[in-house]
Structure formats: C-alpha cells, structure tokens
Amino acid sequence: MNLADKPTVFSGAQPTGQLTLGNYLGALQNWVAMQEEYNCLFCVVDLHALTVRQDPQALREQIYDLAAVYLACGIDPAKSTIFVQSQVPAHAELAWILSTFTQMGELERMTQYKDKSQRHRTNINAGLFTYPTLMAADILLYGTHKVPVGADQKQHLELSRDVATRFNGAFKPIFQVPDPLIASSGSARVKDLQEPSKKMSKSAESDLAKVMLLDEPKTILKKFKKAVTDSQGVIAYDEEAQPGVANLLNIWCAATNNSLENALEHFSHNMYGKLKVESGEAVNAILAPVQERYRDIIADRGELIKILDNGAEVARQRAEEMMVKVVDVLGLPPRRSL
Ligand code: TRP
C-alpha cells in the first residue's frame, strides 16, 4: 500500500527505566494494533531523556533495551518505522526552528515543566523548558495525523497543534495539525498495586506497587498476591469505595480480553485471594511470549542495530522532505542532500 493511503501515526517513549504493565496495556498494545490501519513511526526519544542527567553507559543500554521491548511487544519493522530520535538530526533542527514560533508564556504554563523543575531543582536546564518544541518537531516532521499518548502528554500535544497552526498561518499550510489519541483504557486505568488511587508509574518507590514488563513470573505473582484491596470482602466494581479490587478487575479484563460483566460473573462467588492470583496468572500469560521474544532480540545486538539503522534511514528521508519545505517557506537556502 502507498504511504499516502494510510494516515500517519507517531509516538515515542523515553529510554529511562523499564516499562510497566501500565505502559504495555495502555500504550504498546495500542501501538501494535495500529500498525495495520496506519503508517506508524515509533521512536525511542533519547534526546528528550537528556533533559535529566543520564549515565552515558546506562543510557546507551536503555536505548537498545527500549527498542528491543518495542519489537518484543509486536512492533513489526516490516510494517512500521522503528528508530532512535538522535539518529535523525532533523528532529533537533526543526525543534530549534519551532522554538522561534513558541512563546515563553506557553512553555511556562506546561505542568510537566513546572513539576520537573520542582523535582530537579539543581538542573533546571533550558532543554527541560523547551522540551515541548522538540516533541512538536518529532510529530510535525512526518505529517503526523494521530499521536497516541497518555493523558499526561495532552498539554504538550495541544502546544504542538498551536505551533503548527501558527507556522502554517504565517506562511503556508505545510504542517498537518495532529490529533491526540488519548488512551481511554490501559495505562490510564492500570493503578498502583499498593496505592490503587494512583496511576501505576515506573517511578513509584515501592517495588510491590508496579509490575514491570520484564519481571519474572513468580515476582509478578507475588506482587499481585500482595496487592492492596479493602476490608469489604465482596468482589464488586466500585472505583471509589474499592479501588484495589476495581484495579484487579480491570487488569484481569485487559489481560484476558473479557468484559467487566464477564469478570463480575466469573468471580461472583470468590474471595479476594482468587482474584489476586488469577489476575497475576493472566498477566503472566500475556507477558510470557513478550519476555521470550525480548530475550531473543536482546541477545542479538547486531540484528537490533540493523533494524534501527534501517528505521533511521527511512525516517531521515521522510524528515528531509519536510525540511525541504520548511527551509523554503522560511527563506533559508535550499537543502543540499545529506
Ligand atoms: N514526551 C513524551 C513522554 O514523556 C515522549 C515523546 C517525545 C513523545 N516525543 C513524542 C510522545 C512525540 C508522542 C509523540 O511520554
């Protein structure tokens, strides 16, 4: 099928720390499902990760690791473009240009910036501030129609739309104005196993709170067995009164592809112990094949690098087509082929 026949999807994750079950159910599973209908680009956004100080050796491993996780989850390089952001220089280039179309006030309003600058008080660098212009560049470079992201990225996406509209209005409409696809299930719904009123986050302090994609099956089972519930003793779905039970029910449904109705019927005469064990087992059943593929992929670094080189090559060409238009409308000299 021709590129032009399918709308473009772009998404990315930072290579900082391992992914959780929430990331898998909420993001990666959706990405995998989108590959048929859309022309997808999935990026390891390593330049974004530099806004917080990283250990160089660990960073490089984490970049390959995240790419391996993408593949293990079912991102197929024959269908989608999978690549590392820093290997396509146009991202940084367009980010600079877009920063001149972004107001300080707009960036100052970003809640993630406010939050991160609180948490990293000794390193409030300019990159942390201009981060959303790099994200806008990621998206706008490829004429992206849809961007699957978590609710926490909605504000950044709105900024991308505003910047695209402003640029288009100042010159001519070369940028597609992207629509967010905010996950309505999955990560939005997978909650912390210890504090089920909070979203499951990879930065949670307690290990028991989060299920990592690459956790051993027995660790996963243990975390589920220790999940916090309540003292009501009845399996019903009530997010307010029984957030822990609701979370386990949601996870069981997502992992077994069942409706909530089915879940309530399935567990109708059971105690919490059974719900905990069965949710853990269901999660292990969906993660087992992912973990097995991950182990194969990570063991063959050469092949992984080849896939990423190919992805970067495809992305560079596509990005370059956009940069030709960008420099043209801005009045910069024409691009020489790279
Ligand atoms: N900012 C996103 C996050 O932290 C990652 C990201 C960077 C991204 N560029 C993107 C997501 C472009 C979607 C599209 O989760």
DSSP secondary structure, 284-336, as one string: HHHHHHHHHHHHHHHT-HHHHHHHHHHHHHHHHHHHHHHHHHHHHHHTPPPPP
Identify whether residues 239 and 321 lie together within a single domain. no
Q: Do 30 and 17 fall into the same domain?
A: yes
Q: What is the CATH number of the domain that holds 236?
A: 1.10.240.10
Report the CATH number that the domain containing residue 167 is assigned in CATH. 3.40.50.620
Q: Which residue has the higher pLDDT, 126 or 5?
A: 126
Where residue 98 falls among pLDDT bands split at 50, 70, 90? very high
| 287 and 157 fall within a common domain | no
More confidently predicted of 201 and 249: 249
pLDDT in tens, 222-241: 999 999 999 999 999 999 99
Domain that holds residue 23: 3-187+300-330
User: What pLDDT is recorded for position 182?
Assistant: 83
> What pTM was estimated for this model as a whole?
0.93
- pLDDT at 329 (0 to 100): 98
pLDDT at 3 over 60: no
- Ligand 1, atom 14: nearest CA belongs to which residue? 11
> What is the residue with the minimal CA distance to atom 3 of ligand 1?
13
In this structure, the residues whose C-beta lies within 6 A of any atom of ligand 1 are: 10-14, 45, 48, 135, 138-139, 147, 149, 153, 156
Residue among 43, 113, 176 whose CB has most ligand 1 atoms within 8 A, to mutate: 43
* 198 classed as catalytic: no
Domain count, the chain: 2
Nearest CA to ligand 1 atom 13: 11
Which is the closest atom of ligand 1 to the Cα of 131? Answer: 1
What is the predicted pLDDT for the residue at 271? 94
Mean pLDDT across the stretch 69-77? 98
Q: Give the whole-number percent of the chain exceeding pLDDT 70.
A: 97
At 106 the pLDDT is 98
- Looking at the fold, whether 281 and 309 belong to one and the same domain comes out as no
Q: Among the options 146, 191, 199, 210, which is catalytic?
A: 199
| Residue 274 is among the residues annotated as catalytic for this protein | no
